[in-house]
Amino acid sequence: MGMLSQVLFILAAGVAAFAFGRQVMRIRRNILLGRDEDFSDRRGERWKNLLLLAFGQKKMFRNPLVALMHFVIYAGFIIINLEVLEIALDGLFGTHRLFAAPLGPLYPALINAFEFLAVGVLLACVLFLSRRNILKLRRFISHDLDGWPRSDANYILLTEILLMGLFLTMNAADTLLQARGYGHYGSRLTGDFAASQWIHPLLNGLSSPALAVLERTCWWLHILGILAFLNYLPYSKHLHILLAFPNAYYARLEPEGKLRNMPEVQKEVLYAMQPEMAPPTGAVGAPPPKFGAKDVFDLSWRNLLDAYACTECGRCTAACPANITGKVLSPRKIMMSTRDRLEEVGRNIDTNGAYKDDGKSLLSYITTEELRACTTCNACVEECPVSISPLEIIMEMRRALIMEDSNAPQEWNALFGNVENNFAPWKFSPDDRDRWTAEG
Amino acid sequence: MQVPVMAELAARGESPDILFWVGCSGSFDQRAQKITRAFASILNKLGIRYAVLGKEEMCTGDPVRRAGNEFMFQMMAYQNIQTLNRYGIKKVVTACPHCFNILSNEYKDLGGDYEVVHHSAYLQQLIDEGKIVMKEGGVFKGKRITYHDSCYLGRANGIYEAPRKVLEALDAELVEMPRCRSKGLCCGAGGAQMFKEEEKGTMRVNFERTAEAIDTGASIIAAACPFCNTMLTDGVKHGEKEEQVKVMDIAELIALSIV
Give the DSSP H or E segment for A373: none
Mean pLDDT along residues B138-150: 94
At residue B145, φ and ψ (nearest 5 deg) are: -125, 135
In chain A, positions 29-88, which contact chain B (CB-CB < 8 Å)?
62
Q: How far is CA A116 from CA A55, A72, A129, A163, A218, in A?
A: 21, 10, 20, 14, 18
What is the percent of chain A with per-residue pLDDT over 70, rounded to a whole number?
Answer: 98
Report yes or no: B30 at the A interface, CB cutoff 8 Å. no
Cα-based torsion angle of the residue sequence B98, B100, B102, B106 in order, rounded to the nearest 10 degrees: -150
At residue B147, φ and ψ (nearest 5 deg) are: -100, 130
| Tens-place pLDDT, residues A30-41 | 999 999 999 999
Q: What angle do CA A57, A60, A66 make, to 5 degrees?
A: 120
Residue A294 clears pLDDT 90, i.e. is over it: yes
Distance from CA of B113 to the nearest CA of A (A): 14
Residue A139 CA to residue A149 CA, distance in Å, equals 13
Cα-based torsion angle of the residue sequence B237, B238, B244, B250 in order, rounded to the nearest 10 degrees: -60
> Across all residues in chain B, what is the average pLDDT?
97
Distance from CA of A106 to the nearest CA of B (A): 46
Query: Mapping DSSP to helix (H, G, I), strand (E, B) and coil, where does residue B52 land?
Result: strand
pTM to 2 decimal places:
0.95
CA atoms within 13 A on the CB side of B41: 19
User: How many other CB atoms are there within 10 angstroms of residue A105's CB atom?
Assistant: 8
Nearest-CA residue of chain B relative to A325?
B203
Give the count of Cβ contacts less than 8 A between chain A and B: 221
Q: Using pLDDT thresholds of 50, 70 and 90, give the confidence band for residue B136.
A: confident
Residue B254 CA to residue A345 CA, distance in Å, equals 57
DSSP letter string, B178-223: SS-GGGPPP-S-TTTGGGSPPPS-SS-HHHHHHHHHHTTT-SEEEE
At residue B190, φ and ψ (nearest 5 deg) are: -65, 170
Distance from CA of B136 to the nearest CA of A (A): 24
Chain B residues within an 8 Å CB radius of A414? 195
Asked if residue B242 and residue B145 are part of one domain, the reply reads yes
Report yes or no: B17 at the A interface, CB cutoff 8 Å. no
Across the interface, of B24, B70, B109, the residue whose CB is closest to A425 is B24
Asked if residue B192 and residue B106 are part of one domain, the reply reads no
pLDDT at A364: 97
What is the percent of chain A with per-residue pLDDT over 90, rounded to a whole number?
Answer: 83
Report yes or no: B8 at the A interface, CB cutoff 8 Å. no
Across the interface, of A254, A257, A412, the residue whose CB is closest to B67 is A412
Q: Using pLDDT thresholds of 50, 70 and 90, give the confidence band for residue B103.
A: very high
Mean pLDDT along residues B37-43: 98
In a domain, B129, yes or no: no
Distance from CA of A279 to the nearest CA of B (A): 19
In a domain, B130, yes or no: no
CA-wise closest residue to A156 among A96, A92, A225, A66: A225
Nearest-CA residue of chain B relative to A316?
B183
| Tens-place pLDDT, residues A416-434 | 999 999 999 999 999 999 9
Asked if residue B152 and residue B114 are part of one domain, the reply reads no
Asked if residue B57 and residue B85 are part of one domain, the reply reads yes
Asked if residue B76 and residue B172 are part of one domain, the reply reads no
User: What is the torsional sign of CA A412, A417, A423, A427?
Assistant: negative
User: Which is more confidently placed, A312 or A80?
Assistant: A312
Asked if residue B115 and residue B201 are part of one domain, the reply reads no
| Tens-place pLDDT, residues A75-112 | 887 777 778 888 888 888 888 889 988 998 899 999 99
Chain A residues within an 8 Å CB radius of B101? 255, 257-258
User: What is the torsional sign of CA A399, A400, A405, A407?
Assistant: negative
Q: Using pLDDT thresholds of 50, 70 and 90, give the confidence band for residue A282.
A: low
Residue A280 clears pLDDT 80, i.e. is over it: no
DSSP letter string, A225-258: HHHHHHHHGGGSGGGHHHHHHHHHHT---S-TTP
Side by side, the strands of the sheet bearing B91-94 are: B50-51, B18-21, B91-94, B115-118
Determine the structural domain holding residue B38 and report its residue range.
6-124
pLDDT at A286: 67
| Tens-place pLDDT, residues A177-230 | 999 999 888 887 888 999 999 999 999 999 999 999 999 999 999 999 999 999
Out of B124, B157, B173, a domain closes at B124
pLDDT at A249: 98
Asked if residue B250 and residue B139 are part of one domain, the reply reads yes
In a domain, B1, yes or no: no
Report yes or no: B3 at the A interface, CB cutoff 8 Å. yes
Distance from CA of A409 to the nearest CA of B (A): 8
Amino acid occupying residue B169: A
| Tens-place pLDDT, residues A42-53 | 999 999 999 999
- From A72-81, B139-148, B175-184, the region with the lowest mean pLDDT: A72-81
pLDDT at A306: 98
User: How many other CB atoms are there within 10 angstroms of residue B209's CB atom?
Assistant: 26
Residue A320 CA to residue A390 CA, distance in Å, equals 11
CA-wise closest residue to B121 among B164, B155, B64: B164
Q: Do A434 and B186 touch (CB under 8 A)?
A: no
Residue A102 CA to residue B89 CA, distance in Å, equals 72
In a domain, B49, yes or no: yes
Distance from CA of A327 to the nearest CA of B (A): 4
pLDDT at A1: 47
β-bridge partners, A303: none
CA-wise closest residue to B218 among B148, B154, B126: B148
Nearest-CA residue of chain A relative to B33?
A436
* Residues A373/B199, Cβ–Cβ less than 8 Å: yes
CATH code at position B12: 3.40.50.1860
pLDDT at A439: 75
CATH code at position B153: 3.40.50
In a domain, B114, yes or no: yes
Asked if residue B246 and residue B142 are part of one domain, the reply reads yes
Residue A284 clears pLDDT 60, i.e. is over it: no
In a domain, B191, yes or no: yes
Task: State the total domains in chain B.
Answer: 2
Nearest-CA residue of chain A relative to B24?
A424
Residue A283 clears pLDDT 70, i.e. is over it: no
Across the interface, of B78, B110, B195, the residue whose CB is closest to A415 is B195
Which residues lie closer than 8 Å to B194 by C-beta, 6 or more apart? A425, B63, B227, B230, B231
Asked if residue B183 and residue B223 are part of one domain, the reply reads yes
pLDDT at A3: 82
In a domain, B113, yes or no: yes
Across the interface, of B63, B79, B198, the residue whose CB is closest to A425 is B63
β-bridge partners, B146: B175, B221
Q: How far is CA B257 from CA A49, B34, B127, B133, B149, in A?
A: 43, 15, 12, 8, 22
Asked if residue B177 and residue B100 are part of one domain, the reply reads no
Report yes or no: B137 at the A interface, CB cutoff 8 Å. no
* Residues A416/B72, Cβ–Cβ less than 8 Å: yes
Asked if residue B168 and residue B54 are part of one domain, the reply reads no
Out of B97, B124, B151, a domain closes at B124
What is the percent of chain B with per-residue pLDDT over 70, rounded to a whole number?
Answer: 100
Out of B62, B97, B124, a domain closes at B124
Nearest-CA residue of chain B relative to A419?
B59
Report yes or no: A400 at the B interface, CB cutoff 8 Å. yes
Asked if residue B93 and residue B177 are part of one domain, the reply reads no
Nearest-CA residue of chain B relative to A430?
B55
**CB-based burial, B23-56: b 16+ in 10 Å, e otherwise:** bbbbbbbeebbbbbbbbbbbbeeeebebbbbbbb
pLDDT at A285: 62
At residue B175, φ and ψ (nearest 5 deg) are: -120, 145
In a domain, B197, yes or no: yes
Amino acid occupying residue A434: D
The 8-class DSSP code of residue A2 comes to H
| Tens-place pLDDT, residues A327-369 | 999 999 999 999 999 999 999 999 999 999 999 999 999 999 9
- From A48-52, A56-60, A287-291, B73-77, the region with the lowest mean pLDDT: A287-291
Chain A residues within an 8 Å CB radius of B78? 269-270, 273
Q: How far is CA A375 from CA A276, B71, B143, B196, in A?
A: 39, 20, 32, 11
